[in-house]
Each structure stands twice: as structure tokens, then as C-alpha cells.
Structure 1
Amino acid sequence: MAYIIRPFADRDAPALSDLTLSAIRSVGSKSYTPKQVTAWSDRHPGARRFLDRAAAGHHIIVAADSGDNAVAYSLLESDGHLDMLYCHPDHTRRGLADELLAASEQHARANAMSQLYTEASELARPAFERAGYIVQHRRDFDIPHAGGAVAIHNYAMEKPLN
């Protein structure tokens, strides 16, 4: 299947919301417990958040299938924080994460950012490492959920652009 990498359009917001939840629930379950996956997915703010982030100037790059349906995306903030990188489970292992990270880096360089940084999940970590990000440390933290807290982890990673 051929994919295109393109800028976010408002019409992508529902698809990005849906694919994020699908990725967390399906792919996330390969490295996180059911309780962790539920707490993580319950934090997802929905489609409106993508519209708000785009309006705030955050750079969202979309990978779309041959029908121009969004199947993966990255979200880069103006300070170099790559906040999101998600791919629909039906489209994983096809190089989309690598393409989105490269497009995000290209945008960062064009906008004179000196480094990129992220908090990568267990599953996203290899894609970030392939793109040259370096693990700074493992982040263990709690997600408030259902009146309690669920312990989870990810990795603080950085990539200098000098």
C-alpha cells in the first residue's frame, strides 16, 4: 500500500482520535498491563484536542493511505517537543513512524530548533532510537485513574539537531 505524508487538515481530527485509541488499546497491550492501557486510553482527550493543538501552532504531520484517510501522525510543538507519534494497528511495521519522525525533524530544522525531545512508550522507543534519539532516562510515574493511580513508564529521549 502506498502512503502519503502531508500536513494535518481539520477533517483528520476524528480519525487521529480514533487511531490513537486503537493504537493504545491494541499495540499498547503488547508492553503494558490491561490496567495501564485503560488508564492511558482514558486520558485521551478526543478529536477536539487535535483542532486546538493545530490552532495553537503545533505541527501535526499525517500519514494517509491511498484514499487520503489518516492512518498515522506525529505532533511537534514549537519548542521541539515531539508530543505524539501514533499509528493505527492495521498500518504498523510499514515504516510510517520512521517517515513521520523524518518529516518532523525536517520541520524542526527548517524552524531553527536545536533539539527534539520526547517521552516514548515502550513500543515507540525503537522507532525513536532508529531516528537518532538517545534515551536520557526511564520515567516511572502514576496516571490518576478511577479514584486511584496506575503506575506506568516511558522514556525521556532527546536528539540534538546541531
Structure 2
Amino acid sequence: MGQALPKPALRPFLAEDTPVLAAIFAASVEELTGDDYSEAQQQAWASAADDEAALGKRLAGQLTLIATLQNSPVGFASLKGADHIDMLYVHPGAAGQGVASMLMEALEKLAGGRGARALTVDASDNATEFFLKRGYVANQRNTVTVNGEWLANTTMQKKLGDNAAPGVPT
């Protein structure tokens, strides 16, 4: 009989998490996005984690949740304002184990509890399918410049709960 895999747990962001989250960010970009972005694009994107102080400040200024396996961080997600998912990154070693889904379920519930009627995300090309499966709808394609490289993403939205009246824009 096989052993059960440990279940991920969630906790709030702490400032001392920043170095490990920067490493998760870089590893996620470098190892999970190769089918959708060139090596130069990946390097430019991953370099956003080089300034740990700026990353820590960004995460501290948002509602940031950390997913852990056996008390070690393996992923994180952040909610900017009441209704925009700013970051969602999972370490490649934990990818496919439900970590991202657990983080998103928690952010969706928290956002709904705070009165958000919908959530938006600018999903990278490799994350678009994940968000589609969670009920997000693609609204528009975007191109952003990151450290001199152009990267494409898709703005997606998901209506939360049944609190939105039919025909009323959110």
C-alpha cells in the first residue's frame, strides 16, 4: 500500500519568506514556461525576483498567501486590491499537486468575502488553461515589456458567487 502524499497547507505571508518566494518565482518561470516563452523572455521575467526587497514590499502590500508542504513554502499567490490576482507561482517540484488550485480557492473566497463581484488576472500563456478550467473567461490579449523583452498575457475574469445581478456589469 502506498503512502499518502502530504497535503499542502496555507498561511499568510511573512517578510522572512521573501528569499524563498523569490527562488520559487524564478524556478517557476525558468522551468515551467519554456513552451510559451523564449529563453530571453524567461530570463527577463525571472529577473524580477532579483530585487528581493522590492518583491517583499510588493507581497507585503497585498493579500499574499503561502502554500506549504511539511512547513516549507512551495507556492504563493497574491491579491492586489479587492479583485485582481497579481501573482500565482508554484515551485516546479510541487506543480500538479493541487497547490495552485488551493491558493486560488482561498483567494476567491477571501475576495468574495471582501465584497468583490469578480476577479481578474493577467494570465501568462502557460497559466491560461489553468484559469480557464477554474471558470475564468479571456477578455483581451496584452503585451508587456519586462526588462527589454516583450511578453504576452491574457486578461481573464471570473464572476464570484451568485451575488452579481444578471446584466449588471461588474
TM-score normalised to structure 2 length:
0.84
1:92-107 aligned at under 5 Å gives the runs 92-107=95-110
Counterpart residue number, 1:62: 66
Rounded Cα–Cα distance in structure 1 between residues aligned with 2:55 and 2:92:
20
Q: CA deviation at 1:48?
A: 2.1
Rounded Cα–Cα distance in structure 1 between residues aligned with 2:107 and 2:25:
18
Counterpart residue number, 2:80: 77
Q: CA deviation at 1:50?
A: 4.3
Counterpart residue number, 1:40: 45
Counterpart residue number, 1:20: 25
Instruction: Judge conservation of contact 1:102–1:131 (CA < 8 Å) in 2.
Output: no
Change (3 A) 1:79 1:12: same
**Any stretches of 5+ residues in structure 1 without a counterpart?**
none
Change (3 A) 1:47 1:141: closer
Q: CA deviation at 1:128?
A: 1.2
Structure 1 ranges of 4+ moved more than 4 A: none
Counterpart residue number, 2:136: 133
Instruction: Judge conservation of contact 2:59–2:78 (CA < 8 Å) in 1.
Output: no
Rounded Cα–Cα distance in structure 2 between residues aligned with 1:54 and 1:18:
14
Counterpart residue number, 2:157: 158
Q: CA deviation at 1:78?
A: 1.8
Q: CA deviation at 1:133?
A: 1.0
For residues 67-110 of structure 1, the C-alpha deviation after alignment (integer angstroms, 9 at most, x for no partner) is x1111010101231100000001110111111111000011011
Counterpart residue number, 2:13: 8
Does structure 1 residue 31 correspond to structure 2 residue 36? yes
Rounded Cα–Cα distance in structure 2 between residues aligned with 1:54 and 1:21:
15
What's the Cα RMSD here?
A: 1.6
Instruction: Judge conservation of contact 1:23–1:88 (CA < 8 Å) in 2.
Output: yes
Amino acid at match of 1:103: A
How many residues align? The count is 156
Q: CA deviation at 1:54?
A: 4.5
Q: In structure 1, which of residues 113, 116, 126 is the aligned counterpart of residue 119 of structure 2?
A: 116
Rounded Cα–Cα distance in structure 1 between residues aligned with 2:21 and 2:78:
11
